[in-house]
Amino acid sequence: MLELRRVSKHYASIPAVDDVSFCARAGEVTGYLGPNGSGKSTTMKMITGLIERTAGAISFNGKPIQDDLIAYKRRLGYVPEEPNLYNHLSAVEYLTMVSQLRDLPAWESSQRIDGMLRIFGLHGDRHASISGYSKGMRQKVLLIAALLHNPDLILLDEPFSGLDVGSALVLRSLIQELAARGKVVLFSSHELDTVERVCSRVVILHHGKIVADDSIERLRSLMELPTLEAIFSQLAVEQDTESMARAIADLIHA
Amino acid sequence: MPRLIERLIERIPLPFRVLHRQFLLRVVDLEALSIEADVPRFLGQFAGILIMISCMRAIGTLFFPPPPSMAWATEESALANMLLVVGLIAVVTWDATFPDRRDVLALGHLPVRPRTILLAKVSATAALLGLAMGTLNFASGCSWALVLGGGSLIRSARFFASFWCTIVAATIFLYGAVLTLQGVAALVLPRRLFLKFSAATQLAAFALFMATYFLEPTLSGTGEFADPANHALLVGSPVYWFAALLNQLNGTLPSEESWLAARAWIGLGIALAGASASLTLCYVRTMKKTVEEPDLVPGAAGFHWSPRLGGSLRTAILYFSGRSLLRSRQHRVILAFYWSLALAIALSCLRGEMATPGTISTDFLTSSFVIMAIAVFGLRNVCALPISLNANWVLRVTQLRAPERYFAGTRSLLLLAGVLPAWLVAVLLGVRLRPPAQVAAHLGILLVVGAILVEVALLKFEKVPFTCSYLPGKANVQVVFWGAIFVISMLAITAALYEQKVLYDLQHDIAMFAALVAVEMVLWTVNRKRARSAELYFEEVAPEVITTLGLADGMRYASRAEE
């Protein structure tokens, strides 16, 4: 189980994440939602150890992650929000490097890389430079890199970004399958439709604070709203979207 | 006057002005020079160095005027300096004048003509060349006009005009020649092949400019020009052509040397015509080809064999570093710069010995030490340039081993890609020298010196190669660099003089070898201990700090005041 207790992150005096506490359990897919700039990716980066938190504690399976960060990282798979990869390498070279950095046995990792590249439809372009890859292809490389070592905790920050319909369907099923196999999956996305289908519970963040943390069914019944989109709009969208759209159209017509 | 200039500028079409400014900011590859996007600062530093050189030469000329017999040599030296600077600018701005994919994709859908893009790029490059010409020659040009004019105002004025015309002509010739070569290649070769050719030619041009500058002898006038032994040199070297052109314009060229000036005119004409034609054709034809180029270029087919090079982490670091060096043009160019410098210094030391092989001299010893030091420290500097800062997260997420294991990988890289090639060059240079036992002893000592230099290079290098960023404003080209080259040269000379004394005495030789091994072991132990407690870092700038302007407080005070 991944547990965040009163976690905060301040940049200078500006709070990006403020007093956030929630749990993501094994066997469940936890959706982590929020508008742009609400602090989702900052939380993800704190969970990976990429950035230090200002306050609070993060623990995995009851142990604070900083107690043995290396052992924790061995069990962590992470797909970041932006598909930032070393563009001068090919997909095979990049994935081999990641497997070597993770100290995976050479033969086993080569088999896994080859197999996953085939399944994700990248095998034909595996020796091409990543600089030429589309956003979806890069996203697939990131997914493979995150899953290569069979992690127990999987953090997915906008994993559907740029994926074609077929790959998105595969990924949706894969997320559910991984959770069913006992992994802890924390999943952030703006595609509320997908979140509603995949996640068993959601945490909604607004201005760095948690405004909802419950199963989707309970939120629906508590708030008496039919969809996750409606719940999200009520909790985290401040603007009147229709009048904003009208204002933009008026501006370009002026 | 300022109003007139303003009016004139306003008459230039706005798209051209905007593009000129943009291209001027991009004409130099910023990451290669590590100035952190501060172009005015870089141009200021660049101009400052050239002004300093110009002033020093001017003072030298005024206080120690060259005798009339050395006039040719002085002019050749000025032209050689100018051509080297232009050559280096050509290398640094290698692709800047040609349309690239970014321009095509960003500007292609806007109502901007290719002609405007071409002219803006040419004017941006011309501005940089103009800056270089002006700053390098403004003081020295005046002082030479005064001294070489022989006290006559008219002769001084004529020399001044001739000098500047020649400088401009030589600049256009060399830059035009480079553009012509690239333009012809872009037109003739398929796009993918051209990109490979262009990368290789850039390195070759770099080596050529450096080697020519350091190895070309100075011929001081008619006597040496008439020597048949120098004929091939005169035929092939533009420095002599343009020195002759300067004298032709100044009215001091002997008639028997006018063929050299003729070569300068012909060369200038060909370069100018070739550059204009190839650039125009490139903008008409290649821009379309660039758009049509597929995004995804298939990788090389065939056998992909990547054997393990030690442990998995060491293998990962070595392959990542090797690929970064081979595939990143910026890194290759900077490494080529260091190697060109090292080889040029070494070859200029060994110039006399190249023709007649003989015994081991201090020149050979000095040059091998210099090559080793520049190869190791040059590689270390190149390793400190990041290849993609945004992608470094993967190294942090997968940092599962102790920092000392990463340092061991970096050490292997410096040994394999720094010490080994430098040592092999020393072997090649020393293979014709005698006695072989002493040559072998020196090569053994050189290897240990290389290992020591690697440990010194690792003393403050707590990062994975090709991942870390520089501090803002920290430049790769700065006074410290030239200071370091001076110190390295002095240390190499001192070491060579000492080694020369003990090389033929077996006992002393063994003692020196043992002392060097001991130093290496001490440094290795220090680095190993330090590595155990060290932390790898990926940013030299402290992250997570946002500087606020305090506007929120200001608003609060304002609203209170209103109340």
Query: Whole-model pTM?
Result: 0.80
**How far is Cα A183 from Cα A178, in angstroms, rounded to an integer?**
6
From residue B148, give the alpha-carbon distance in Å to each of A175, B14, B427.
82, 45, 47
List the end-to-end C-alpha distance of chain B, in Å, as a whole number: 51
Q: Which residues of A touch B299 (CB under 8 A)?
A: 90, 125-129
pLDDT of residue B550: 45
- CB atoms A48 and B544 under 8 Å: no
Instruction: Give how far Cα A15 sits from Cα of A74, A206, B49, B53, B90, Å.
Output: 30, 12, 46, 52, 49
Question: Which of A119, A123, A121 shows the shortest CA–CA distance to A136?
Answer: A121
How far from chain centre, in Å, is Cα A138? 15
Taking the CA of residue A58 and the nearest CA in chain B, the distance in Å comes to 16
Does B482 or B308 have the greater pLDDT score?
B308
Report yes or no: A102 at the B interface, CB cutoff 8 Å: yes
Residue B213 C-alpha, separation from nearest chain A C-alpha, in angstroms:
34
pLDDT at B363: 85
How confident is the model over B9-26, as pLDDT tens digits?
Answer: 888 888 888 888 888 877
Whether B552 shows a pLDDT value over 50: the answer reads: no
State yes or no: pLDDT of B470 exceeds 70: no
% residues pLDDT > 70 (chain B): 85
B334-392, pLDDT tens digit by residue? 888 788 878 877 777 776 665 566 677 888 888 899 999 999 999 998 898 888 888 88
Q: pLDDT-derived band of residue B478, with 50, 70 and 90 as boundaries?
A: low
Cβ separation of B400 and A102 shorter than 8 Å?
yes
pLDDT tens-place string over residues B236-245: 889 999 999 9
Q: Which two tokens stand for residue B281?
A: 């054709």
Out of B31-35, B317-321, B396-400, give the one with best mean pLDDT. B317-321
Binned at pLDDT 50, 70 and 90, residue B41 comes out as low
The rounded distance, in Å, linking the Cα atoms of B122 and A245 is: 44
Q: Is A103 on the interface with B (CB under 8 A)?
A: yes
Report chain A residues whose CB lies below 8 A from the CB of B298.
125, 127-128
**Which pLDDT tens digit goes with each residue over B250-286?**
888 888 888 989 999 999 999 999 999 988 888 887 7
Give chain B's mean pLDDT.
82
Comparing alpha-carbon positions, the chain A residue that sits nearest to B538 is A50
Banded model confidence at residue B472, pLDDT cuts 50, 70, 90: very low
Chain B residues whose CB is inside 8 A of the A93 CB are 306, 319, 323
pLDDT exceeds cutoff 50 at B473:
no
* Residue B214 reports pLDDT greater than 90: no
Predicted pLDDT at B549: 47
Tell me what pLDDT residue B221 has.
Answer: 66
Residue of B62 and A186 predicted with greater confidence: A186
The single-letter code of the amino acid at B206 is F
Q: What pLDDT, in 10s, does the model give residues A8-31?
A: 998 877 888 999 999 999 999 999
Residue A37, pLDDT above cutoff 60: yes
The rounded radius of gyration (Å) of the Cα atoms in chain A is 19
Nearest alpha-carbon partner for B216 in B195, B196, B192, B243: B243
Question: Residue B172 corresponds to which tokens in the numbers above?
Answer: 């256009």
* Chain A residues lying within 8 Å of B396, measured CB to CB: 49-50
User: Per DSSP, which regions of B35-93 are E strands?
Assistant: none
CB-CB contact of B311 with B121 (8 Å): no
pLDDT reported for residue B2: 76
| B216: pLDDT strictly greater than 90 | no
pLDDT tens-digit readout, B482-516: 778 788 888 888 998 888 888 888 888 899 999 99
What band does B179 get if pLDDT is binned at 50, 70 and 90?
A: very high
- Tell me the pLDDT tens digit for each residue of B83-137: 988 998 888 788 778 877 777 777 877 788 888 888 998 999 999 899 889 988 8
Of A165-174, B47-56, B136-145, the range with the highest mean pLDDT is A165-174
Which parts of B93-237 fold into alpha helices (H)? 101-107, 114-148, 153-188, 191-215, 222-226, 231-236
ipTM: 0.85
Interchain CB distance below 8 Å, A102 and B299: no
Q: Which residues of chain B have a Cβ shorter than 8 Å from any chain A Cβ? A: 294-301, 304, 306, 308, 312-313, 315-316, 319-320, 323-324, 327-328, 387-388, 390-391, 393-401, 543-548
Percent pLDDT > 70 in chain A is: 100
The whole-number pLDDT of residue A14 equals: 83
What is the model's pLDDT at position B180? Answer: 93
The answer to whether A6 and A157 are in contact (CB under 8 A) is no
CA angle B391–B393–B399, rounded 5-degree value: 130
The whole-angstrom distance between residue A25's C-alpha and the CA centroid of its chain comes to 15
Quick one: pLDDT at residue B475?
A: 47
- Calculate how close chain B gets to A61, using CA atoms only, in Å: 19
Query: Which residues of chain B have a CB within 8 Å of the CB of A97?
Result: 316, 319-320
Q: What are phi and psi of B33, to 5 degrees?
A: -100, -5
Percent residues over pLDDT 90 in chain B? 26
CB-nearest partner of B299 from A100, A128, A134: A128
**Helix or strand (DSSP H, E) at A11:** strand A2-11
B474, B33 in Cβ contact below 8 A? Answer: no
CA–CA min distance B101, chain A (Å):
12
| Interface probe, candidates A93, A97, A144, chain B, greatest B C-beta count within 10 A | A97
pLDDT higher than threshold 90 for residue A175: yes
Which has more pLDDT, B260 or B148? B260
Residue B381 CA to residue B334 CA, distance in Å, equals 9
Mean pLDDT for all residues in chain A: 90
If you measure CA to CA, which chain A residue comes closest to B400?
Answer: A70
Query: What average pLDDT score do residues B164-168 get?
Result: 94
From A109, which residue of chain B is nearest by alpha-carbon distance?
B312
- Whole-number Å distance between alpha carbons of A211 and B187: 61
Question: In degrees, to the nearest 5, what angle opens at C-alpha B46 toward C-alphas B40 and B540?
Answer: 70
Show residues of chain A in contact with B551, CB under 8 Å: none
Per the CB < 8 A criterion, the answer to whether A206 and A235 are in contact is: yes
Whether residue B557 has pLDDT greater than 60: no
Answer yes or no: is pLDDT of B299 > 70.
no
**How confident is the model at residue B454, as a pLDDT?**
95
For residue A186, give the 3-state DSSP assignment: strand
Q: Is A183 helix (H, G, I), strand (E, B) or coil?
A: coil
Interchain CB contact of A66 with B (< 8 Å): no
Which residue among B327, B397, B401 places its CB closest to the CB of A50?
B397
Q: Which residue of B has its CA nearest to A47?
A: B397
* Total beta-carbon pairs less than 8 A apart between chain A and chain B: 111
Beta bridge partners of A64: A59
Mean pLDDT of A182-210: 90
From first CA to last CA, the distance across chain A in angstroms is 55
Alpha-carbon torsion (A67, A70, A71, A72), positive or negative: positive
Choosing among B397, B412, B537, which should be mutated to test the A contact, i.e. which has the most A CBs within 10 A?
B397
| Whether B327 and A88 lie within 8 Å, measured CB to CB | yes
Per-residue confidence (pLDDT) for residue B186, from 0 to 100: 83
pLDDT number for residue B297: 67
Q: Write out the H or E segment, with its range, that includes residue B443.
A: helix B436-457
Burial of B26 (0-12, 13-18, 19+ CB in 10 A): middle
Find the helix or strand (DSSP H, E) in which A168 lies: helix A165-180
Is the model's pLDDT at B521 over the cut of 80?
A: yes
Q: Is A23 helix (H, G, I), strand (E, B) or coil?
A: strand
Residues A88, B545: C-beta atoms closer than 8 Å: no
pLDDT computed for residue B302 by the predictor: 63
Query: Is A108 within 8 Å of chain B by CB?
Result: no
A 10 A CB-CB count for B1 gives: 5
Average pLDDT over residues B438-459: 93
**Comparison of pLDDT for B186 and B36, the residue scoring more:** B186
* Cβ density class B505-523: b for 16+ within 10 Å, e for less: eeeebeebeeebeebbeeb
8 Å CB contact of A89 and B320: yes
